[in-house]
Structure 1
């Protein structure tokens, strides 16, 4: 009834609403119109396209109960600022529910309050520019394994699902930053990563038929316990070794070394056994970092290489820039990066390509928050206060990133948006580009991810060509064969069908 009161009591706009089904029928209708496997997180955006009247308000109320939370979908940047930047509302309880089987609600992504602030301050030094650059040798080492695999695919002519190989690369790289160790996911395999992927497949995003099937599976609790046990067993030795040898540790500030330092500082005078509760929290933090640290980069790598294949003129600009900044052959380029990691920051057009790809295909569709008592949300133009009740606030980046009010030709791949000068029609509006979210709860690892993407893409594009393999008469999203799906074994959006690709050695003129 409260949704109906939006019109009768508050005079606010409301999509056609069913007493029984809420907005589920509207959602089903828009999904049937587009690719059947489109990512569920994009459904609010598809609804807004079907009901363009929602766009003029900057928000709309959406009732998807009992499949998911009732929410306010916010897609205007001036309203997002209110609960993500000016005041950072708490993460919604949906987050610890969703990720609870993996990290028990104590990690940087899902936790709130003093606990979150404490751990964020512990890990912040690990993501300084200087510390990120210290990981460049490890990134190069892991990239060369990836390159060898890609070259073998080029020789064999095998079509491969690039997303899975990119994930193995990126988890090996983030393993250095989190645990200070090689995980070998690309070679011999990694029990920690394998258990992590199995656990992700057991997480619940909603109460859709697929979600209910997971929830009601009688062996799910045992599998969750077993996966957590495997991950804890794999991570624990690094923690214990770090505590024993903390005073002798030198080099990069890894996440586990920073956590150990905090623990040692707090327990410097204490004797006896290590606090098991602290170990449990640290393990959960590291599990979430391994998840978040590999997922965004792998998906973005796939979409960048695919988009550049379809835009050869822009690929030529990227390669000319790489030749100028790093050199025209892989050996000299890797030597230049190892010697001067700051060179990666001079790849301004490649950076623009990465940002434009994240605008179109960010792996996360938005941030979910909830208002505490006394917190308010106001319409950006009228100043009218919106009733929040206990609704989820959904900062819908995916919709904002394709809003023609802020992005001319929003469905086109135009990296020049991010090299444009202020005053240019392409220049991004303030607060409109937010793939890593903005404000105090932004992604702690965004600069690490951007450095990793610059390095891996610059070297891969120097030597190799990538061709996505999709049937031209297959489903399309805004005229493109490229779009995101929600694979049952994943919890974020991923390239359709794992991004099947043919890889070939670059043919130079």
Structure 2
């Protein structure tokens, strides 16, 4: 009995100490913390569980948008990303290798492989299509675009094919990447600065194909080889899948935009084989406008990309008149910025004309607030490839097919249907997992009979 009493007494002391610590921490963060003057939700000031809970639900980007709307921009300390190399020299070294394989000349050299994968994507659509819409098998564009995007990323990174579009053998990789993104986002938000030390097999070899490994130094540590390869799979696969899926979604819900884009494609090219990365493709202004509006409305990385002042920068960091303590992580939430009506009138409405020079909406749109690839030295080097992939997929699909929403409840998957939805009525639901997870759209395709693919 004496032992039990001592345990209970020790437990009481422990609980009192824990409660005292929590009260002290809450008072410090509320009254004394250097960033206490920034407005925002109380839960976010008191604990990182606020972001962790948002990461679990996948709605952190919506919370950030709501907080920006209610409180204005905020600074969030001590949130680290493994993709942020704080040392500029280290970042420059990493970026140099990646930029070589994603340069315009490199992308041109890679285009035959990309074109092959686009044609496989179209053949898969043809297998589900019918000249009679009622006989067409509904296609889940999220699944098809993820297979396409990841296969292209794997080919570009490692020079090998996994056959993700035609075989189910390696498709568990797609789910593994999504689960990994979910876990990473959760730990990044809940445990700032947390990392993981992975041991990986040396996959380096001399490649005949044009790929990332061909550009990496032979003496690069295995951990960095793994990091760069993983970067390609996430940034080059999942993001493209989101962009393609969202563009199909928005076109299928906006018939006038669909009609105008289809007319542009079908009047610009004489046949499907001529749709390549050419001056003709670049001349399709409405195509580029629909891509930009898709990336604005449904950004593939909807969350916050965190930044920190470089260690060698000895000067003060001042943002909006506030002195930011060294070591504080800063960021602008992409989804919140892209839906700020001060920069984008009718922020929840799909309006490609906002990107067309001379339109009244374009005059009100602030292009400097459009950052789907981030900006500056940390901007995504894969921008050229991303635009090419989305352009080829959509242009060639519209040349060979007409498409529409699948009937019934299946056609509504992935769509917000309420006026009070954060995505707006008929918006495309995204789930923030560092990248964006998504479902659908489910579409039916009808061949136009314009030659063989």
TM-score with structure 1 setting the length: 0.69
- For structure 2, which runs of at least 5 residues remain unmatched after alignment? 1-26
Deviation at 1:211, TM superposition (A): 8.0
Matches within 5 A, 1:341-420: 341-364=278-301, 365-372=303-310, 374=314, 376-380=316-320, 384-388=321-325, 390-420=327-357
| Equivalent residue number for residue 17 of structure 1 | 42
Matches within 5 A, 1:152-191: 152-155=127-130, 157-189=136-168, 191=170
Deviation at 1:116, TM superposition (A): 2.2
Could you tell me whether the CA contact under 8 Å between 1:136 and 1:341 is conserved in 2? no
Deviation at 1:353, TM superposition (A): 0.5
| Equivalent residue number for residue 201 of structure 1 | 179
SS at match of 2:324: coil
For residue 470 of structure 1, the aligned residue among 394, 412, 431 is 412
User: 1:440, 1:95 → 2: CA distance?
Assistant: 16
Could you tell me whether the CA contact under 8 Å between 1:205 and 1:491 is conserved in 2? yes
| Equivalent residue number for residue 305 of structure 1 | 248
| Equivalent residue number for residue 286 of structure 1 | 229
| Equivalent residue number for residue 140 of structure 1 | 115
Q: Deviations over 1:218-253 (max 9, x none)?
A: xxx9xx97xx75xx47xx2xx3133xxxxxx5xx74
Deviation at 1:168, TM superposition (A): 0.6
Deviation at 1:10, TM superposition (A): 8.4
| Equivalent residue number for residue 483 of structure 1 | 428
Query: Given the alignment of the two structures, is residue 504 of structure 1 paired with residue 445 of structure 2, yes or no?
Result: yes
SS at match of 1:464: strand
Query: Given the alignment of the two structures, is residue 254 of structure 1 paired with residue 211 of structure 2, yes or no?
Result: yes
User: 1:196, 1:465 → 2: CA distance?
Assistant: 26
User: 1:11, 1:280 → 2: CA distance?
Assistant: 38
Q: Deviations over 1:65-85 (max 9, x none)?
A: xxxxxx16xxxxxxxxxxxxx
Could you tell me whether the CA contact under 8 Å between 1:371 and 1:388 is conserved in 2? no
User: 1:125, 1:367 → 2: CA distance?
Assistant: 23
SS at match of 1:426: helix
Number of residue-to-residue matches in the alignment: 401
User: Structure 1 residues 37, 312: CA separation in 2 closer, same or farther (over 3 Å shift)?
Assistant: farther
SS at match of 2:425: coil
| Equivalent residue number for residue 324 of structure 1 | 267
Query: Given the alignment of the two structures, is residue 333 of structure 1 paired with residue 293 of structure 2, yes or no?
Result: no
User: Structure 1 residues 137, 337: CA separation in 2 closer, same or farther (over 3 Å shift)?
Assistant: farther
User: 1:117, 1:391 → 2: CA distance?
Assistant: 22
Deviation at 1:325, TM superposition (A): 2.2
- Greater mean deviation of Cα atoms: 475-484 or 179-188: 475-484
User: 2:332, 2:124 → 1: CA distance?
Assistant: 39
User: 1:474, 1:404 → 2: CA distance?
Assistant: 21
Q: Deviations over 1:105-133 (max 9, x none)?
A: xxxx3434223211211232222223212
Could you tell me whether the CA contact under 8 Å between 1:172 and 1:186 is conserved in 2? yes
Could you tell me whether the CA contact under 8 Å between 2:416 and 2:423 is conserved in 1? no
- Greater mean deviation of Cα atoms: 170-179 or 347-356: 170-179
| Equivalent residue number for residue 41 of structure 1 | 61
Q: Deviations over 1:143-191 (max 9, x none)?
A: 2221122222234533343212111111222233222333311122464
Aligned CA-pair RMSD: 3.7
Is the radius of gyration larger for structure 1 or structure 2? 2
Could you tell me whether the CA contact under 8 Å between 1:178 and 1:286 is conserved in 2? yes
Deviation at 1:15, TM superposition (A): 3.4
User: 1:302, 1:10 → 2: CA distance?
Assistant: 39
Deviation at 1:134, TM superposition (A): 2.4
Could you tell me whether the CA contact under 8 Å between 2:86 and 2:310 is conserved in 1? no
TM-score with structure 2 setting the length: 0.76
For residue 151 of structure 1, the aligned residue among 126, 133, 136 is 126
User: 1:211, 1:11 → 2: CA distance?
Assistant: 20
User: 2:45, 2:212 → 1: CA distance?
Assistant: 48
| Equivalent residue number for residue 218 of structure 1 | none
SS at match of 1:368: coil
SS at match of 2:305: strand
User: 1:198, 1:411 → 2: CA distance?
Assistant: 32
User: 1:434, 1:445 → 2: CA distance?
Assistant: 14
